[in-house]
Structure 1
Amino acid sequence: MSIFTDHPRSVGETYAEHFRAATSFGIPMITAGVACVLHGIFPFMFEKTGSNLVRRLYDRMVVNRVKMTHETTDGQQIDWCI
């Protein structure tokens, strides 16, 4: 077992699949964070950008979690740590 593959394997992914999934959450999170900081400085900018991105990421994670739960053969829910 490797420190690079233990967690991905525990959620039913290869290292590459886990990297792709984590990156697809991480980049929008960084984008939302920058938008929120800029909104704090310039309140007229990015009024809903941060909350919209967070809502989309939440919806994606919940939909994927439900999908993965139904696909598991032992009936256990996949652990979704990012």
Structure 2
Amino acid sequence: MLGKLFLDHPADVGESYGEHMRHASGYGFAMIGGGIACLVHALVPALFKTRGSETIARLNQKLVRSRGAKRDATIEMRTGGWVI
């Protein structure tokens, strides 16, 4: 039961529990910051004009790069492309 709650998903994405916590927390704090900027922008439109969309684009690029690198490493490992 504890493994299903805490370990299965991180393992599915190729991370330890600690690595997953660090990455997910980073995304979460970035989203909170972007969200607060959007709320301030809603009140004062001259402020934080692009912060929300920039945050979304930056996090998306980071996630796409991370998944691509892990996918490539997994494929390379499975096909015997690594030489030690």
Structure 1 length normalisation: TM-score?
0.84
* 2:51 paired residue number: 49
2:7 to 5, 18, 26: 5
* 2:68 paired residue number: 66
Larger Rg: 2
Greater RCO (Cα-Cα under 8 Å, separation 6 or more): 1
Q: Give percent identity, aligned residues only.
A: 37
The number of residues matched between the two structures is 75
Kept in 1: contact 2:6–2:17 (CA 8 A): yes
Q: Where does structure 1 differ by over 6 angstroms across 4 or more consecutive aligned residues?
A: none
User: Which sections of structure 1, spanning at least 5 residues, go unmatched?
Assistant: 76-82
Structure 2 length normalisation: TM-score?
0.82
* 1:40 paired residue number: 42
Deviation digits for residues 22-72 of structure 1 (CA, Å, limit 9, x no counterpart): 011110001000100110111011011111111111111111111111011
User: Which sections of structure 2, spanning at least 5 residues, go unmatched?
Assistant: 80-84
Which residue identity does 1:38 align to in structure 2? V
Kept in 1: contact 2:14–2:70 (CA 8 A): no
Q: What root-mean-square deviation, in Å, do the aligned CA atoms of Structure 1 and Structure 2 show?
A: 1.5
Which residue identity does 1:10 align to in structure 2? D
